Structure 1
Amino acid sequence: MFKTIDAISPDARYDLIVIGSGAAGMAAALFAAIEGRKVLVVERTEYVGGTSAMSAATTWMPNSHHSKTVNPDDSREKVRKFLDGVVGNHSPATMREAFLDSAPEAVATLEANSEVKFRPYATHPDYEQQFEGATMRGRALEPVPYDGRGLGADLDKIRPPIPEFTIFGGMMVDRTDIGHLLAIRKSARSFVHAASILAHYAGDRLKGRRGSRLVMGNALIGRFLASLNARGVDIVLRTEVQDLVTENGAVTGAKLSSGTTTRQVAATRGVVLAAGGFNRHPQRRGELLPQGESHSPSAPGHTGAMQDIALRLGARLGEGNLDSAFWAPVSIRRRSDGSTASFPHFVMDRSKPGTVCVDQTGRRFVNESVSYHLFGRAMFEHNKTVPCIPCFIITDAVGLKKYGLGMVRMGTGNLAPYLADGYLTEGATIAELAGKIGVPVANLENTIAAMNRYAASGKDDEFGRGTTPYHRVNGDATVGPNPTLGPIAAAPYYAVRLYPGDIGAATGLVIDEWAQVTRADGRPITGLYACGNEANSIMGGTYPGPGITIGPAITFAYRAVRHALGEAHARNAA
């Protein structure tokens, strides 16, 4: 339940203080509350949810009870082989084993004791299908949609989704909803589903409130919030952590401030850092990220301030990651209110037939159907020798209408606003489009001609687009012979600029298998835990599959609480 810092007693004592209110922080708070502990959640912004609330909130949790319903043949050994192949020595195998130990328990504990519920999809593949042990289903879970009306006024405390991911001015939809909306005139079942969610949203707008049917990240955070409220967990917003309190080298509390009010609050079982990582840190961003223009569509609270405090206590940042951040290509547009929209291009356009991505010489540089993380990596690598930031995603009139392009949604009739502000570039011919985006005409014409040949043959001779099940599932199953390839031949032609976007931190505080923050010599800082993007990724800066940030975030929140309560009990008994 939300409180102001003024309502917290100057001598307040909690079992656990959690810094940050994304999926990691809320999970830690809830796991402790399930055990009957007194918990305080501290959030520096005006909303709970962090980047988790803005995300799809896919949660990679291998071998959960849900996995067996869609992939009974999966096993821990298959998952281990897969992670060993993708991650290798970029992270300690012991950390991955700890994750595999506790992920099923964490999911089961949440679902048995709270409003947090997940569901599997019949097809939701790992990204790196070329590695042994990869699967097409069962490991990635998604939050079940949630009716936020039960939260009352607290609904407005959840960080809203990215506006460009909503429709009709704020209606949230997930991929199931999109499928039904597109089939509204073709299927009675789709008509009923679409009519139901449209009526729900219309009712919200008539009452002057935001959309209360929550999906994806908003659903996960809404479910966490309802569960925390039911167990009386205290949450303070707009509250900074000035420092951590220590006694004899152990963390025992936190110094908080909000406006002119300060409080020193004791934590008898420990402090969990879950404030989102370094993505908006004024110095560390420049130190850890590659050179070249990049944008962060993450929430604004990820300043790295808690990492600075932990480093002063002797903590250290991880080394050896393949990347320090997780990537997605993003397009940029100025909103009417003056803010900047950073729109992640996950799967809705890059993998669809009739698209191609080119560098500033008009040539391809990547398989457009790879994961968003690998696409972002490719931009940086290619840019070392050939200008590629920004690059361009290109389609024709048919592709734009059928699949959309970034913020230009499928079926959009009025392109004038996008053309007027330069987000979308149009050319009557490939040559005209090349001239407008500043790439050599001959190169772009040759690239488009090659793509048209590949569309006819079904084989991408340059980059192998559509050669893995992951590539193909993100294409268009109605198109053949390759669902990711289609002609680019219907004038006019369109382009949108793409930049690398860091969607989360991979480099973070080094923790042990119980999420304890460790010193340079490997010894834990007693009473200090980290999870989520605050902690160094157990995936070592690789991106094996959907939800590999939130899955480990929840799992190590679970392990942190188990350790904090058990260790504290042992210390008190001594």
Structure 2
Amino acid sequence: MAASLDGRALAATETPRKDFHLADTDSPVSGKANTATDADTTDVVIVGSGAAALTAALTAAVAGKTVRIIEKTDSIGGTSAMSGGMTWIPANHYAEAAGHADSVAEALTYMRAASPEGWRDTEDELWARQMEDGPEMLRLVEAHSPLRFSLTDVPDPFQEAPGAKSCRILAVEPISKRILGKYRRKIRRSTIPQRMTVGETMAANLFRHPVLGMIKSWPILLRRWASDSIAQGGGLIVALLKGCLDAGCTIELSTRAVALTVDDKGVVDGVEVECNGQHRTLRARMGVVLASGGFEWDSEMLAKHFPSEIDFRSGPSSNEGDGHKMAQALGASFAHMDQGNIVIQPPVRYEGKLHGLPLRIHAEPDAIIVDRNGRRFASEYEFWVYDRIMDRDENGELIHQPAWVISHWPMVKRAPLVGWYRFFKSGWLLKAKTLDELARLTDLPADTLKETVERFNGFARSGVDLDFGRGQNNFYEKALAKDLGLMKEIDQAPYVAFRFRPSLLGTKGGVRTDSSGRALRADGSIINGLYCAGNVMANPTGARTPSQVGTTIGPYMTWGYTCARSLMQRNHS
């Protein structure tokens, strides 16, 4: 095997464009004459340590393959560890055991009906594979790790669509970090508390009444603290990592992948890595799985591909598109680079930087969203309203931004976390004695803003939103209105505003793959030996997701499983 490309191969792959330049590396294709020892050679190399990466590693390892996992940082779990860990898997065995009828065919029907127009043309084959492999993946990881879930009753948001169900979202059960031994303290910390499950957190109403909720939950918290147990995304990573370690996987931390290596036939056969300033090459007899996360922390890539300024990012700051850049050097094709897991977030400090806290903070009965002209442009309870601020005209220009959430102080008192987290960034929450003053602070036309607020107040008094049908349009809006209240007047000073500006849980654009997870070039040919899963792949589900939660974790685990299965089933000769 050759550690570098000859002149003919280099011409075929081309030099990476500037926007995909990887700092501190001559090129993301190895051109260095590194040699790999037997100790540096395994069947599979996995780049990343999130849910997709660990599922791929576990799948290969339990099949008897030798697996090395490399993680750029000193913490394990990536964005997955910081998440709520909710997992969307149609036709899962938990639903079957509970007596719910679901099937792969129904799930695919729902995906087709609930996805944005045009996506089926390019993603249908991937959807079908994801629906088919999801239940198999779940059985495998539970058979070979201590990972366990509980079934929730969170429904698919588009209940009017054919194939919709209320039995597809799973919640991670608590697990003790002590089972990890020396890796116990290496699980990435989250910005959200993870001692309790998502269900327990919601039942305690922690986001509305944090102090009272903590007091009510003290027996649970005490038990979890005593056993060092966590749930949600952190618990997911603990369980998957335990399975990987028991299956014989090797994991290397603080090890950054900087280049892919290829043999003289153009097959990806390893990864050049950098650790403590030293470079070495890790060989992979069967292939490499990139599961290295998104690119939201690479400002140059974000500015080029994401069509809007963003507020906060809630994933690890190590998500700098390393996998994208390495794949680009091999001529990989990219898609959905303008897509992301978009939310509106309050600020929080994490690892010395401003991050976003993944909470839903805009949906309140006495809050409206207005565009740059001071007018509402959608129902605030619409499921895809986060992505509506990305609406563009025929010239591709954003038509609503800058957009603002407008409310008053009773909302802040009712949602105390909004008031608390405003202190993490001065000026994030604007406060004014009058709507005229608020208009000056937000640079909105005062007369239009006052007219919009008064018109909404009229709707609140009558109980009918004549402009956008808030709370009446579909199942999701009706359920949200029942839970939160439909509309309340915005009429008690001080008035408040914060930008309705997209924050990113993670980017979702990346390397175009086939339904087996194999990386593709622009001409549709396969980059043999290279597989992609998670936020480094061109996700077949974009910003407008078919599920309320869980449409990253469940599918990403599934694609990790799919990549590993595909890798083991093929020879690259």
Same fold (TM over 0.5): yes
- Counterpart of 1:24 (choices 15, 30, 52) is 52
- Counterpart of 1:115 (choices 143, 146, 164) is 146
Contact 1:351 1:484 in 2 (8 A): no
Structure-1 separation of matches of 2:563 and 2:352: 41
Bigger Cα displacement from structure 2, 88-97 vs 231-240: 88-97
Pairing 1:325–2:340 present: yes
Contact 2:173 2:235 in 1 (8 A): yes
Contact 1:46 1:237 in 2 (8 A): yes
Structure-2 separation of matches of 1:370 and 1:441: 26
The within-5 A match list for 1:474-489 is: 474-475=480-481, 477=483, 483-489=485-491
Pairing 1:461–2:441 present: no
Residue 196 of structure 1 deviates from its aligned partner by: 1.9
Bigger Cα displacement from structure 2, 483-492 vs 190-199: 190-199
Query: SS at 1:537's partner residue?
Result: coil
Aligned match of 2:552: 549
Residue 285 of structure 1 deviates from its aligned partner by: 2.0
- Counterpart of 2:41 (choices 2, 13, 26) is 13
Query: SS at 1:466's partner residue?
Result: coil
Give the structure-2-normalised TM-score: 0.83
Aligned match of 1:223: 239
Cα distance change, pair 451–404 in 1 and its aligned pair in 2 (3 A): farther
Aligned match of 2:134: 103
Aligned match of 1:208: none
What is the letter of the counterpart of residue 101 of structure 1?
A: E
Structure-1 separation of matches of 2:570 and 2:133: 18
Residue 498 of structure 1 deviates from its aligned partner by: 3.0
Cα displacement string for residues 105-150 of structure 1 (whole angstroms, at most 9, x for unaligned residues): 111111122112222212x132444543333x11222222222233
Pairing 1:495–2:497 present: yes
Aligned match of 2:21: none
Structure-2 separation of matches of 1:336 and 1:98: 37
Query: SS at 1:367's partner residue?
Result: coil
Aligned match of 1:356: 368
Unaligned runs of 5+ in 2: 1-35
Aligned match of 1:5: none
Cα distance change, pair 466–37 in 1 and its aligned pair in 2 (3 A): same
Cα distance change, pair 191–521 in 1 and its aligned pair in 2 (3 A): closer
The within-5 A match list for 1:262-277 is: 262-277=279-294
Cα displacement string for residues 178-199 of structure 1 (whole angstroms, at most 9, x for unaligned residues): 344349xx9xxx9997122332
Structure-2 separation of matches of 1:80 and 1:337: 40
Residue 449 of structure 1 deviates from its aligned partner by: 2.4
Structure-2 separation of matches of 1:407 and 1:155: 34
Cα displacement string for residues 237-257 of structure 1 (whole angstroms, at most 9, x for unaligned residues): 111223222221111222222
The within-5 A match list for 1:10-409 is: 11-69=39-97, 72-85=100-113, 86-90=115-119, 91-122=122-153, 124-129=154-159, 131-135=161-165, 137-162=166-191, 165-166=192-193, 172-182=195-205, 194-200=217-223, 212-247=228-263, 248-318=265-335, 321=336, 323-332=338-347, 335=349, 339-346=353-360, 349-371=361-383, 374-379=385-390, 381=392, 384=397, 388-389=401-402, 391-404=403-416, 406=418, 408=420
Aligned match of 2:18: none
Cα distance change, pair 385–486 in 1 and its aligned pair in 2 (3 A): same
Pairing 1:451–2:462 present: no
What is the letter of the counterpart of residue 487 of structure 2?
A: L
Structure-2 separation of matches of 1:404 and 1:128: 30
What is the letter of the counterpart of residue 53 of structure 1?
A: A
Cα distance change, pair 381–375 in 1 and its aligned pair in 2 (3 A): farther
What is the letter of the counterpart of residue 403 of structure 1?
A: A
Cα distance change, pair 103–378 in 1 and its aligned pair in 2 (3 A): same
Cα distance change, pair 87–95 in 1 and its aligned pair in 2 (3 A): farther
Q: What RMSD over aligned residues (CA atoms) do the two structures have, in Å?
A: 3.2
Cα distance change, pair 15–145 in 1 and its aligned pair in 2 (3 A): same
The number of equivalent residue pairs is 526
Residue 97 of structure 1 deviates from its aligned partner by: 0.9
Cα displacement string for residues 193-220 of structure 1 (whole angstroms, at most 9, x for unaligned residues): 712233246659xxxxxxx432221121
Query: SS at 1:262's partner residue?
Result: strand
Give the structure-1-normalised TM-score: 0.83
Query: SS at 1:226's partner residue?
Result: helix
Structure-2 separation of matches of 1:265 and 1:93: 35
Structure-2 separation of matches of 1:453 and 1:565: 63
Residue 497 of structure 1 deviates from its aligned partner by: 2.5
- Counterpart of 2:541 (choices 539, 542, 552) is 539
Percentage of identical aligned residues: 27
Residue 263 of structure 1 deviates from its aligned partner by: 2.4
